Amino acid sequence: MTSFRYERFATDGAARLGRLHTAHGAIDTPAFMPVGTAATVKAMQPESVAATGAQIVLGNTYHLMLRPGAERIDRLGGLHRFMNWSGPILTDSGGFQVMSLAKLRKLDENGVTFQSHHDGSSHHLSPERSMEIQRLLGADITMAFDECTPFPATPAQAADSMRLSMRWAVRSKAAFVERPGHGLFGIVQGGIYSDLRAESARALIDIGFDGYAVGGLAVGEGQEAMFATLDATVPLLPEDRPRYLMGVGRPSDIVGAVLRGIDMFDCVMPTRSGRTAQAFTRRGTVNLRNARHQDDPRPLEEGCACPACRSYSRAYLHHLIRSEEILGPMLLTWHNIQAYQDLMRDLRAAIGAGRVAAFAAEAAAREALGDI
């Protein structure tokens, strides 16, 4: 049986080239994890997700506990079987979504009680229940149950919130059922305050986790404050464990975070944007609803291997969007996930070649050109 382990092959500054081994396969890092909130990467079949080069997808405790229910997915063979994804799955622990989606929430030391945003039914999440749900789902990577500190927060608010998450981290670790190839990640909190981030990192290292996520970011603080918080946090994390920056981000966010030592990312942007006619290209984002595309025979992006760029023109993609045809969001979602996987592939190659800083500068220059 595979043991859960992280291999590091090369470093380039703070950036790392590595591989994470799990029960359902390996993940080359730095990696981007497509978001599959309700057991599907929206508008894509699993075969298509795999064809982009993605090796791991995200699921979520909050969404799946409400519908169809964790026990039901377990009875049906677990999340891998249910969604027909044979690769690794990481599930978020649910705290973030409760605070952003649920109604009538009551948070106390034990956990959070809330009403479903679907039907108003009452539910409870605690570190113990979150670990049980993620085990029932069969997640290869389980996230500790935490509170994502809202932004902005005063130092006192951020300290209280972080220390609650650290007490919940102890309970998450105690409730986590060790299985070969399955790992548990702790989540660093502390807002934008370096001293609180250091306290949180130390607390998690003392508990001991298989990986360390940086939470509480990509919540409106802006890129500069996010990078400053990473500068204060990532160097404190163990070098022999993967680092996961939650909810990030745009391509420039990802490049800057890789340069600061982050290995794993998730973000709804490529999938959500694919459904709103926004395409990610090396020359920035392109809005395919714009009439300037209606006679353009060129592919969306030269050299992209996705079906949208291989077989269709910008004029056709524009037509599908204007006609509100389902194929539009399908093709643009595939392209965006492909674009993110290509960025990660290029970043991994640049780190391996010791030229990641030059690559970052080239990528920023290309993006600044804007679409033609």
Ligand X SMILES: CNc1nc2c(CC[C@H]3O[C@@H](OC)[C@@H]4OC(C)(C)O[C@@H]43)c3nc(N)[nH]c(=O)c3cc2[nH]1
Q: Hey, which residues are catalytic here?
A: 92, 266
Provide the minimum distance between the beta carbon of 38 and ligand X in the complex, in angstroms, as a whole number: 9
Provide the minimum distance between the beta carbon of 213 and ligand X in the complex, in angstroms, as a whole number: 7
Closer to ligand X by Cβ: residue 92 or 210: 92
Helices 327-352 and 356-369 meet at what angle, rounded to 10? 150
Task: Enumerate binding residues for ligand X (CB under 6 A).
Answer: 35, 37, 58-60, 92-93, 95-97, 143, 146, 148, 187, 215-219, 246-247, 266, 268
Buried-state track 171-203, b at ≥16 Cβ within 10 A, e below 16: bbbebbeeeebbbbbbbbbbbbbeebbbbbbeb
Provide the minimum distance between the beta carbon of 59 and ligand X in the complex, in angstroms, as a whole number: 6
Closer to ligand X by Cβ: residue 6 or 145: 145
Sign for the CA dihedral angle at 140, 141, 145, 150 comes to negative
Closer to ligand X by Cβ: residue 98 or 308: 98
Shortest-Cβ-distance residue relative to ligand X: 247
3-class DSSP assignment, residue 17: strand
Provide the minimum distance between the beta carbon of 217 and ligand X in the complex, in angstroms, as a whole number: 6
3-class DSSP assignment, residue 331: helix
Closer to ligand X by Cβ: residue 143 or 258: 143
Other beta carbons within 10 angstroms of residue 120's beta carbon come to: 9
Other beta carbons within 10 angstroms of residue 84's beta carbon come to: 11
| Secondary structure tally for the chain: helices H, strands E | 15, 16
